[in-house]
Chains A and B, each alone.
Chain A
Amino acid sequence: MNHSATAVMDPRHPMPGMQVYNLKLGMWIFLLSEVMFFTSLIGSYIILRFAHPDHWTEPGVVLNVSLTAVNTFLLICSSVTMVKAFAAIEQGDQKGLKLWLLATILIGASFVGIQVFEYTKLIHEGFVPNFAAYTAEGANLYGATFYLMTGFHGAHVTIGVLCLSFVLFRAMKGAYTSESYGGVEIIGLYWHFVDLVWIILFTIVYLL
């Protein structure tokens, strides 16, 4: 195998012409597929809402906008802690990397915890995605689309927290340096994307 072929297969080296290393390129391609996934969900939600406006209520009537605003605040804060972790390891600051990663994990876990609390409260109040209730008047499509979209996003946050914990574990073992921090950059891209999706979901599901 010649040198250029080895470089193409090595995840730390860029594909010819892309000027970006392969793991990062892979993450960007994955994120593009995620754009399509969430666009499908949001597009379907908009169509259903236009077709059945009677199933929806005004903002704040069923959903707790204040609580979700706190969650939005948390996720935005987690994005800044994540980018600070990235900036720390770029400068070779191992302590900063671990501290900011830990802060991101804790904030992400808090987001999931608040979402579980929100679901529990809503279900207790009768706002459920009950299939049998689809023909009844009221919050049927609203509930189904709400849980589908926020649930998938919550699953992404949960996976992100688990991956961040793995990256923190590796950071504790000194796996990242100022010359080699691909793992931090890649999980950072994923985490910021999850934040970006929530910014759109918060507006469409809770405020409109």
Chain B
Amino acid sequence: MEAKEHQKQPYILIWVILLVLTLAELGYAFMDLPKIVLAIGLIGMAVWKALLVALYYMHLRYEESTLSRFFSAGFILAISLYTLVLTALGVLAVRGG
């Protein structure tokens, strides 16, 4: 195994941050704000939490750069492709096409 340096990682600190962000999400979700402001804030917090899990608990932050680049590129490509296709489908759906 290549990753003995994981032993001193801030797992509990990340757990606390995840819990605080979840509580912040719950409070923010029921504030009287425009829907777009709510959506941006909530998705921003969710992405932040997901990144913390991927970087620290899945150890992507400490992986060899080849692996990180390989999967980051694949992930960005997959998300971009889906965004393009689903946006096109969404436009068609809204137009009734």
Which chain B residues in 62-92 approach chain A with CB under 8 Å?
Answer: 63-64, 66-67, 70-71, 74-75, 78-79, 82-83, 85-86, 89-90
A132 to B82 alpha-carbon distance, docked (Å): 30
CB of A122 closer than 8 Å to a CB of B: no
Q: Choose among A19, A46, A189, A207 the residue that contacts B25 (Cβ–Cβ < 8 A).
A: A207
Complex contact B71–A32 (CB within 8 A): yes
- CB of A181 within 8 A of CB of B43, answer no
Q: CA of A119 to CA of B83 in the docked complex: distance in angstroms?
A: 30
Query: Is the Cβ of B29 less than 8 Å from the Cβ of A46?
Result: no
On chain B, the residues within 8 Å of A77 by CB distance are: 15
Are B78 and A80 in contact, CB atoms less than 8 angstroms apart?
Answer: no
Instruction: List B14-65 residues whose CB lies under 8 Å from chain A.
Output: 14-15, 18-19, 22, 25-26, 29-30, 38-39, 42-43, 45-47, 49-50, 53-54, 57-58, 63-64
Q: Render A60-103 as a binary contact track against B, CB cut-off 8 A, 1 for contact.
A: 10000100010011001101101110110011000000000000
Q: Let me know if B75 and A19 touch, CB within 8 A.
A: no
> Given that A36-B82, A39-B82 are contacting pairs, would A69 and B64 also be in contact in the complex, using a CB cutoff of 8 Å?
no
Contact flags A1-35 to B (C-beta < 8 A → 1, else 0)? 00000000000000001111100010010001001
Residues of chain A contacted by B6 (CB below 8 angstroms): 86-87, 90
From B18, B50, B58, B86, A43 is in contact (CB under 8 Å) with B86
How many angstroms from the CA of A154 to the CA of B35 in the assembled complex?
28
The reply to whether the CB of A208 lies closer than 8 angstroms to some CB of chain B is: yes
Q: Which residue of B2, B14, B43, B86 contacts A44 across the interface (Cβ within 8 Å)?
A: B86
User: Shortest CB–CB separation between residue A74 and chain B, in angstroms?
Assistant: 11
**B residues in contact with A25, CB < 8 Å:** 67
Q: Which residues of B contact A32 (CB under 8 A)?
A: 71, 74-75, 78
Contact segment of A144-152, A156-164, A196-204: A196-204
The 10 closest A-B pairs by CB, nearest first: A43-B86, A203-B46, A207-B29, A19-B64, A51-B93, A80-B15, A47-B90, A192-B57, A196-B53, A39-B82
Q: Besides the contacts A46-B90, A47-B90, A83-B57, what 14 more A-B pairs have beta carbons closer than 8 Å? A: A18-B66, A32-B78, A36-B78, A44-B86, A60-B30, A79-B57, A80-B12, A80-B15, A90-B1, A182-B1, A189-B58, A192-B53, A207-B42, A208-B43
> B interface vs A, CB < 8 Å?
1-4, 6-7, 9, 11-12, 14-15, 18-19, 22, 25-26, 29-30, 38-39, 42-43, 45-47, 49-50, 53-54, 57-58, 63-64, 66-67, 70-71, 74-75, 78-79, 82-83, 85-86, 89-90, 93-94
Q: Interface residues, chain A, CB within 8 Å of chain B?
A: 17-21, 25, 28, 32, 35-36, 39-40, 43-44, 46-48, 50-51, 59-60, 65, 69, 72-73, 76-77, 79-80, 82-84, 86-87, 90-91, 179-182, 185, 188-189, 192-193, 195-196, 199-200, 202-204, 207-208
